[in-house]
């Protein structure tokens, strides 16, 4: 049991966090907040694709119901 405890202590001692690893989060400069056309269109594309999936599902259910009844 002490061997397992010693191994866990070694792993815990060698594990580094993100702040210890030297990874820093930097703020973007003021002029870097300009969005490209692809970034601006992303929200609309996600909205349309979400509803297109729902409408395609409903159309498939409707077509199956039409063929059965």
The residue that leads in pLDDT, 18 or 62, is: 62
Tracing tokens 């269109």 back to the chain, one arrives at 41
Tracing tokens 């580094």 back to the chain, one arrives at 16
First vs last Cα of the chain: how many Å apart? 69
pLDDT in tens, 2-52: 555 666 565 555 555 555 555 555 655 565 567 788 888 898 999 999 999
What's the CA angle centered on 44, arms 40 and 47, to 5 degrees? 145
Cα–Cα distances (Å) from 21 to 13, 17, 62, in that order, read 14, 6, 56
């Amino acid at each position: 049991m002490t061997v397992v405890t010693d191994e866990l202590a070694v792993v815990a001692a060698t594990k580094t966090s993100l702040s210890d690893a030297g990874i820093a989060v930097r703020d973007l400069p003021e002029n870097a907040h300009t969005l490209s056309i692809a970034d601006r269109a992303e929200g609309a594309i996600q909205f349309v694709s979400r509803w297109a999936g729902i409408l395609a599902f409903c159309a498939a259910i409707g077509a199956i119901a039409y063929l059965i009844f």
